[in-house]
């Protein structure tokens, strides 16, 4: 299969390779597609605890996310990522 990437997406992929996130664009694309597939196949349960938390959060004021917020989110996500076997 051949695909055509927009220039900004291609630049992003090259940046990810240079940053050591993956070895090749194909590996990153495979990981992204698998992630989307897995998210779509996973059922989402709204538990009473989640509903309570969401309702409480909806009543609180919001602020824009900062670069530090994104760095923290990235660190938490990477710590949950299974190691390559």
- pLDDT (tens digit per residue) in 22-68: 888 899 999 999 999 988 887 778 899 999 999 998 988 888 889 99
Query: Within 10 Å of residue 21's Cβ, how many Cβ atoms?
Result: 13
Q: What is the pLDDT of residue 34?
A: 93
What is the phi-psi region of residue 20: left when phi exceeds 0, alpha when psi lies from -120 to 50, beta otherwise? left
Q: Does 84 or 23 have the greater pLDDT score?
A: 23
CA distances 18 to 2, 7, 13, 21, 30, Å, are 23, 16, 9, 8, 18
Examine the pLDDT at 83 and tell me if it is beyond 90. Answer: no
Residue tagged 């664009």 (tokens): 25
Token pair belonging to 74: 């990235």
Q: What is the pLDDT of residue 82?
A: 66
Examine the pLDDT at 4 and tell me if it is beyond 70. Answer: yes
Examine the pLDDT at 10 and tell me if it is beyond 70. Answer: yes
Confidence of residue 85 (pLDDT cuts 50, 70, 90): very low
Enumerate the H helices of the chain as residue ranges.
7-18, 25-41, 48-58, 67-80
| Cα radius of gyration (the chain) | 17
């Amino acid at each position: 299969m051949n695909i055509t990437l927009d220039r900004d997406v291609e630049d992003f992929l090259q940046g990810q390779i240079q940053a050591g996130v993956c070895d090749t664009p194909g590996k990153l694309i495979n990981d992204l597609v698998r992630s989307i597939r897995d998210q779509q196949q996973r059922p989402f349960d709204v538990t009473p605890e989640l509903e309570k938390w969401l309702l409480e959060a909806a009543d609180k004021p919001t602020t824009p996310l900062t670069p530090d917020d994104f760095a923290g989110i990235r660190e938490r996500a990477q710590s949950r990522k299974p190691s390559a076997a």
